Structure 1
Amino acid sequence: MLIPLALAQFICSFAGSNMNVMINDISEDLNTTVQGVQLAITIFLLVMAALMIPGGKLTDRYGRKRCLTVGLAVYGVGALISAVAPGLPVLIIGNSILEGIGTALLIPPVYILTTLLFTGVAARARAFGAISAMGGIGAAAGPLIGGLITSGISWRAAFVFQALVVALILVLSRRYVKDPLPADPTRPFDTGGAVLSALGLVLLVMGILAADDNLWLMLGLVVAGALVLAWFFYAARAKERKGQEPLLSTALFRNHTSNFGLVTQNVQWLVLMGVSFVVSAYLQVVRGYNAIETGVIFTAATVGLLLSSLLAERMAKRRKQRSLVLAGFAVTIAGILVFLVMIGVSKSVWAFVPGLFLIGLGIGGMLTPSVNIVQSSFGEDLQGEISGLSRSVSNLGSSLGAAIAGTILVAGLTKTPERSYALAMIVLAVIGIAGLVAAGRLPATPPAPETAAPQ
């Protein structure tokens, strides 16, 4: 059962990072600009973040396996459309929209099913370790795999590869994945809440993207996004007072363990995708490396991430989840500093290896315990909601990572391009410190899972 679930997380993470090494090839082939392709990448990540909460809620109404199947089908169609795209608009429809929607439908069931079918810290650590490892490998190895396919065949073949993997997942999930809970077609769906949550997240990320064009526009969009999300929260609380079921139970936001765990998840994916974006752009634009060379260099991060993820079950038995998250952030921040120092004193390609390895090792070491902390904070009745919220927060981190890094690179804040890339990495390290602080607020021994208040 874990094989199709882990592959599902892999392909979605792969899609979010492999286009970083195909930017130049896609822009030349589709007669567009690098900024246009970057926009497609950002929209893909944004669609995932905006729709993950509604996607998680739909699993209760239509069933976790059905949502997984529909999500995979939509994703596969989007990948095929992207493979034959004649221009940027069609690529955005296939990759950014359809693949984003498919991801929002299929990822929540992956985490809900894993939580329901595996009990106990060690068992869930093993399961989430496999899924997180494949997700992290997809994000970290995306540049290498995408680079090999792009250089060896074409960037279009990378989307065909995605479609083939999705077809394999559909076959495996049909045979091996079982839904332990029946669907409830009578379960209400809060359409108004879904619109408010998606709109708030869209405004928030668009504000970050507008930072290099207009400071006042950025502030306006960010404030508007925050206000819409506040409206969403108060509307949810009003529904609960009336005995109605909102999109998200407000009990999710009163759990301090889950709240700090969600912050760590957001920062982890923000740093991972931010580093991937900055280093990929630096290697191609400043060093002049091609897609394969860029991907090979990223192998160091992939190895570190795979190594720490595979040790998740063993470490969960020996160390508290909080300690693993703290250590992960410390190693990741150290990796960024080592990266900056090494490339500053050496022009050798080997100078990239130590820092990237440490970054991968640190992030891989805390992905699993963070997910375990959040998912285990709630009972079965809230798994659909917390899974959607958890994945939304993580994918919001991914979109913010690319947005923040890209904004710094094009804002012209430094005198030389090299310093702009260094500044972007320093900002990511500072954000990593914020994640370290949040991890320090996690309880050493998590409390018992919460359940929804009776209506």
Structure 2
Amino acid sequence: MTIAWGSGQARGVLAATVLGSGMAMLDGTIVNVALPRIGTELDASVSGLQWILDGYLLALASLILIAGSLGDRYGRRRMFVLGVVWFGVASVLSAASVSTSMLVGMRVLQGVGGALLTPGSLAILETSFVRADRARAIGAWSGLGGIAAAIGPLVGGLLVQVWSWRLAFLINVPIATACVWLARKYVPESRDVTSAGRPDVLAAVLGALGLGGVTAALVEAPARGVGHPLVLVTAVAGVAGLALFVRLLLRSADPLVPPSLFADRTFTLANGLTFVVYASLGGVLMLLTMQLQVSLGYSPTAAGSATLPITAIMLVFSGRSGQLAQRIGPRSQLVAGPLLIAAGMLLMLRIAPGASYPTVVLPAVVVFGLGLAAVVAPVTATVLAAAPDRHAGVASGVNNAVARAGSLLAIAVLPAIAGLRGESYSDPAVLTAGWRISLVVCAGLTIVGGLLGAGVRNDVLAEPAPPSPEHPRPGECLHCSVVSPPTHVGK
């Protein structure tokens, strides 16, 4: 059973997936705005602020692969709903934190919930909609979800000023409640019925150990020194964990991530583009709201409002961007989008003390937003289309893990590259100098992403010939998509 665009059930599925993934996106951008207040109230250093962001991203990136696999095996809707509930509970615990270390721990728990729900939202779209409507559905999902990420700074600023940064977490509770109701009402359950055995838990543990070790070493090295025992031990453990993770995938009969996925050049290049673009986005978005508040004297609400043009651009153009990629192929957008993002970042070099919003900040965020709208939907649709449908959950998990790992490493590395240590972020001169260095580095990364986009197959989103029972599409099982109808549709 697949769903056609425009039906009531299609709208319900889209609403559920947008609310779930949008909640995770919203939380990330809200927390960015709240960081200065969190740092003041909890007396956090730069390292502490990094861990508040990276604790979440680390759990998300480490577990998202096995979460995608769990969805393929045991039901994508089931894992999605579990992740939404988990995320909501962890949000309440985050709001109740009384110290930096406690908040970091609760953010890790939030990341576990995010890992369960994020690949499920994309996999649900990929397996629920008819193939001709998938790029359109993903475009709408990325546009509406992107709005959640874009309005996060504004919502976060308002919540912080109304009462406290704690509201930035409590807002997730009503969103999670609505999302669970919609998922149970409209989303059909689906799984890969060809999956056998248990998920590769050892591979997931090794992947988590690898990412965790490398991240810990990168975050702690500037403050403790490269030769500190903690830095050395975590670095060695991280590298060893990642090496063993790759070795296990190559030798396993039923790997957590089938290495055959990366034999497709388009799948590999699109994920490479995702990594560098999201690394640059993670670094810039973390520092932009701090630069506006600390160096330009914006209030939290004003800093959040400064990025509202991105919201409007994503709303208007993301769905159309997905449709355009379906019609002409994604390659041109995967080249132009990153270049526009890089241009927006270079324009942001002028965002310094005394800069005017209409003549300096606004043009930069408009160009930045146009680049995002051009690339987000096409690259996501390209990754999923390059993988067999039965691996939709794993492919989504890989793409999300790559995106989160990029942001994770950027947040860990950029402050050190930019010379931000201890509580130096509170000095406008030091922060502005670091901000400019970070922008140049991130713009370079997005340009690399555009070069990678030039190598993708331009016909990857084209509608294939209809399969028959005798001649299914390579790697696709005709009976492994939707296995049960949604409950209470139309009632």
Question: Same fold judged by TM-score > 0.5?
Answer: yes
> What letter corresponds to residue 439 of structure 2 in structure 1?
M
What SS does the corresponding residue of 2:166 show, helix, strand or coil? helix
Gapped regions of structure 2 (runs ≥ 5)? 1-12, 465-472, 478-491
> What letter corresponds to residue 9 of structure 1 in structure 2?
S
CA distance in 1, matches of 2:50, 2:430: 22
CA distance in 2, matches of 1:359, 1:223: 37
Contact kept, 8 Å, 2:281 with 2:442, in 1: the verdict is no
> What letter corresponds to residue 157 of structure 1 in structure 2?
L
Counterpart of 1:294? 303
**CA positional deviation for 1:318:** 4.2
Contact kept, 8 Å, 1:305 with 1:362, in 2: the verdict is no
- 2:349 counterpart of 1:349: no
What SS does the corresponding residue of 2:339 show, helix, strand or coil? helix
- 157-166 or 437-446, larger mean C-alpha shift: 437-446
Counterpart of 1:228? 241
Counterpart of 1:272? 281
Contact kept, 8 Å, 1:308 with 1:364, in 2: the verdict is yes
Counterpart of 2:77? 65
Please report the RMSD computed on the Cα atoms of aligned residues, expressed in angstroms. 2.7
CA distance in 1, matches of 2:352, 2:92: 42
Counterpart of 1:205? 215
Q: 1:115 aligns with which of 120, 126, 141?
A: 126
Contact kept, 8 Å, 1:9 with 1:134, in 2: the verdict is no
Contact kept, 8 Å, 1:239 with 1:246, in 2: the verdict is yes
CA separation of 1:185 and 1:318: change in aligned 2, threshold 3 A = closer
**CA positional deviation for 1:239:** 1.9
Counterpart of 1:106? 117
- 440-449 or 263-272, larger mean C-alpha shift: 440-449
What SS does the corresponding residue of 1:154 show, helix, strand or coil? coil
- 2:174 counterpart of 1:168: no
**CA positional deviation for 1:216:** 5.9
CA distance in 2, matches of 1:139, 1:41: 15
Gapped regions of structure 1 (runs ≥ 5)? none
Q: 1:152 aligns with which of 157, 162, 177?
A: 162
CA distance in 1, matches of 2:419, 2:392: 40
Counterpart of 1:393? 402
- 1:96-143 superposed Cα distances (whole Å, 9 cap, x missing partner): 12210001011111111111122335x222211122123322333211
> What letter corresponds to residue 343 of structure 1 in structure 2?
I
- 2:92 counterpart of 1:80: yes
CA distance in 1, matches of 2:74, 2:87: 18
- 1:199-231 superposed Cα distances (whole Å, 9 cap, x missing partner): 122223334324534346779866754443232
- 1:396-427 superposed Cα distances (whole Å, 9 cap, x missing partner): 122123223333344479x9542221111000
Contact kept, 8 Å, 1:23 with 1:38, in 2: the verdict is no
Instruction: Spell out the pairing of 1:44-443 with structure 2 (5 A cutoff).
Output: 44-94=56-106, 96-120=107-131, 123-181=133-191, 187-213=197-223, 214-215=225-226, 225-240=238-253, 245-340=254-349, 342-343=350-351, 347-350=355-358, 351-411=360-420, 416-443=430-457
> What letter corresponds to residue 425 of structure 1 in structure 2?
L
CA separation of 1:344 and 1:25: change in aligned 2, threshold 3 A = closer
- 1:166-206 superposed Cα distances (whole Å, 9 cap, x missing partner): 11101111111111447689532112111111112222333
CA distance in 2, matches of 1:224, 1:426: 31
Counterpart of 2:17? 5
CA separation of 1:229 and 1:25: change in aligned 2, threshold 3 A = same
What TM-score, normalized by structure 1, do the two folds share?
0.90
CA distance in 2, matches of 1:49, 1:345: 35
CA separation of 1:421 and 1:182: change in aligned 2, threshold 3 A = closer
What TM-score, normalized by structure 2, do the two folds share?
0.84
CA separation of 1:345 and 1:31: change in aligned 2, threshold 3 A = closer
**Once the two structures are aligned, what percentage of the paired residues are identical?**
29
CA distance in 1, matches of 2:368, 2:255: 39
Counterpart of 2:30? 18
CA distance in 2, matches of 1:262, 1:170: 30
- 2:455 counterpart of 1:444: no
Contact kept, 8 Å, 1:201 with 1:225, in 2: the verdict is yes
CA separation of 1:183 and 1:318: change in aligned 2, threshold 3 A = closer
**CA positional deviation for 1:258:** 0.3
Contact kept, 8 Å, 1:114 with 1:128, in 2: the verdict is yes
Contact kept, 8 Å, 1:139 with 1:273, in 2: the verdict is no
CA distance in 1, matches of 2:100, 2:227: 29
CA separation of 1:220 and 1:423: change in aligned 2, threshold 3 A = farther
> What letter corresponds to residue 380 of structure 1 in structure 2?
D
CA distance in 2, matches of 1:338, 1:29: 33
Contact kept, 8 Å, 2:338 with 2:449, in 1: the verdict is yes
CA distance in 1, matches of 2:385, 2:227: 41
CA distance in 1, matches of 2:184, 2:71: 17
CA distance in 2, matches of 1:434, 1:216: 32
CA separation of 1:87 and 1:227: change in aligned 2, threshold 3 A = closer
- 136-145 or 96-105, larger mean C-alpha shift: 136-145
- 136-145 or 146-155, larger mean C-alpha shift: 136-145
